[in-house]
Structure 1
Amino acid sequence: MKNCDFAYYLSNFFTTYLPGHLNVSENTVYSYRDTFTRLLTYFKDERSVPPDKLKFSHFSRDSVEDFLKWLENTSHCGISTRNQRLAAIKSFFRYVQVEQPEYLMLCQSIISIRSKKSPKPTIQYLTGEEMKLLLEQPDTADRNGRRDLALLSLLYDSAARVQEICDLTVRNLRLTSPPVVRLNGKGRKIREVPLSAPCADILRKYMQERKLDRQDRMDEPLFFNSQGRNLTRSGVSFILAKYISKANAVSPHSLPSTITPHCIRYSKAMHLLESGVNLIYIRDFLGHESIETTQIYAKANPEKKRAAISKTCDDSSAPKMPDWNDNPDLMSFLKGL
């Protein structure tokens, strides 16, 4: 193979394989791009191999594991970021093993690297009263305040991911009865989410004020900044943080300062669960691929756990566990359990 074999296949991976064969989203391409930018930086700085000289012969299971350690120790990346970078590298070497079978052993050794287990973070969400307090903060006498109310209302009512909100165009909304928003989710999956009447009314007034209900503006962004461009993820986070601070300044019941747009999604899911909505419907509402992902909300709800325990706990029918005080012989006690 030529010295540029790695560059050739990496280029094809990004220009042909990811968009043409896997049909991944732009965000996935950007994430993979960042991974290989970091990988090239690692080989240049730590192994003195410039990007234009990098070949498959420089790769091994050990070199990739050293890169992952470098991410954690030098770049201070968390375990989840480390695992995301590993997933991108594995995807590339799965592609290479098909294109160049002579590298099969190398590819298999890298693909077999295991992800690190990380502790699952506790789901942070707002209660119904806290969510109500947050939605009361935008100043509806102000033009931007009315936009922010529409944004926060839709973010909660649809349980959308923040990027899904940023990507919305006017065409994605249908406010005639029954009102629905069409969301472009992860992996190019599209789902339609029903909206409540109050949220639809807020959005309808917002669109009329901004003249977004005209036919010639159907493909314009639903939420935009002063330059007329789509609001960004950081822009939405900034708006949310502003109203959390405002709520904490006027109310003795403070909201957590760590609430993010994704926590609003969690809040909607938890409120649906508390209302008795079946997990299958919540899964479809959130756009989860597996019910196992949705079950984290049931596990995180202490009231649901308490209710389940109270229904099943009956002292009269519960089996009597042996008391170790009745049998000083520890081995006999353990066998009797």
Structure 2
Amino acid sequence: MSWERYIKHFVAYLKIEKGLSENTILAYQRDVTKLRDFFEVSHTTPTTISYNDLKNFIADLYDLGISARSQARIITGVKQFFLFLILEEEMDHDPSQLLEMPKIGRKLPTFLSIEEIDELIGAIDLSTNEGHRNKAILETLYSCGLRVSELVNLKFSHIFFEQGFMRVIGKGNKERLVPVAPGVEKEIKLYQEGIRQHLNIQKGHEDFVFLNRRGKQLTRVMIFTIIKQLSERIGLNKTVSPHTFRHSFATHLIEGGANLRAVQEMLGHESITTTEIYTHLDSSFLREAIISYHPRNKK
């Protein structure tokens, strides 16, 4: 069987049996494509690859200057591919089993201060139709902690304003309930009633909350562009993306005293260790907390 057929069947397995999100599937597909590109030169097929062959592949990634974090992600995709071949009985041993992940430092996420978020939202031009939509977008990203894919796929049928919740479809098609703040409800309704209802909404896009001027679902790229333009407008000296609002959401909640387990649920993290990265409180905040609350410091 050719590499292309193996990869095609692997993608089908990820989609149908594993039920992974489209973005995760594309990432794994890219990882295995890198594997194919490396071994096709020597006419090596997936079922004849050895552990030493894979070590050479990883060494090549290092030589290309690919970061340890990216290497780790590629190795994860490769391991999934060989697991699939074992399950399909194409192989009776897993050459990737002993592959070690490169050591990577725990990268602290970039986040914005409350003042910076207020400044970004304040820079939106509300004299345009897109302005009201963009304000609703930023309020939703920041107040609900959504991923950009969750935002662009948000539907009105998943929002329950009376109950104060929205149903979000996250990674791996996992659902969670996220509280809807009054400010989010206000901005979405202003956009819905004042702007959105006057659009020529295209068939199949009626239920999506955020639309472009042609009445179609917004893309991830468009959200990135909106945020980049606002950052440039206020001269923000930080690299800001939609995910920055999610990081800020989590950071500000924890700094405000929110329970880590509750934040984990709202973010849709499978493991609480993923959420713990948001406990990167600055030293002054940490000192103030200790001085204020430790029993030895109370008079």
Is TM more than 0.5 here?
A: yes
Retained in 2: the 8 A contact 1:170–1:218? no
Q: 1:70 aligns with which of 43, 46, 60?
A: 60
Question: 1:43, CA displacement in angstroms?
Answer: 2.0
Q: What one-letter code is carried by the residue in structure 1 that aligns with 2:92?
A: L
Partners of 2:283 and 2:219 lie apart in 1 by 34
Q: Does 1:147 align with 2:133?
A: yes
Q: Does 1:245 align with 2:226?
A: no
2:92 corresponds to = 104
Partners of 1:55 and 1:201 lie apart in 2 by 54
Gaps of 5+ in 1: 249-254, 316-337
Aligned pair in 2 of structure 1 residues 121, 94: CA closer, same or farther (>3 Å)?
A: same
Q: What one-letter code is carried by the residue in structure 2 that aligns with 1:158?
A: C
Partners of 1:240 and 1:11 lie apart in 2 by 36
1:170-190, CA deviations, whole angstroms, 9 ceiling, x for partnerless residues? 322233x34322211112111
1:235 corresponds to = 222
Q: 1:161 aligns with which of 131, 141, 147?
A: 147
Retained in 1: the 8 A contact 2:255–2:281? no
2:186 corresponds to = 201
Give 1:1-337 correspondences, 5 Å limit.
4=1, 9-15=6-12, 17-44=13-40, 47-49=41-43, 54-57=45-48, 59-74=49-64, 76-100=65-89, 103-105=91-93, 107=94, 109-175=95-161, 177-208=162-193, 209-211=195-197, 219-248=206-235, 255-310=236-291, 311-312=293-294
1:226-267, CA deviations, whole angstroms, 9 ceiling, x for partnerless residues? 44332222211110011111122xxxxxx3331221111111
Question: 1:149, CA displacement in angstroms?
Answer: 0.7
Q: What one-letter code is carried by the residue in structure 1 that aligns with 2:61?
A: L
Secondary structure of the equivalent of 1:192? strand
Secondary structure of the equivalent of 1:104? coil
Partners of 1:69 and 1:226 lie apart in 2 by 48
Specify which structure has the bigger relative contact order, considering alpha-carbon pairs within 8 angstroms and separated by 6 or more residues. Answer: 2
If the length of structure 2 is used for normalisation, what is the TM-score?
0.87
1:6-35, CA deviations, whole angstroms, 9 ceiling, x for partnerless residues? 6655443222x2223222222221111111
1:269-302, CA deviations, whole angstroms, 9 ceiling, x for partnerless residues? 1111122211111111111112222121123443
Retained in 1: the 8 A contact 2:124–2:131? yes
If the length of structure 1 is used for normalisation, what is the TM-score?
0.78
Tell me the C-alpha RMSD between the 2 structures: 2.6
Retained in 2: the 8 A contact 1:160–1:265? yes
Gaps of 5+ in 2: none
Q: What one-letter code is carried by the residue in structure 1 that aligns with 2:47?
A: F
Q: What one-letter code is carried by the residue in structure 2 that aligns with 1:199?
A: V
Partners of 1:66 and 1:225 lie apart in 2 by 47
Aligned pair in 2 of structure 1 residues 69, 231: CA closer, same or farther (>3 Å)?
A: farther
Identical-pair percentage? 27
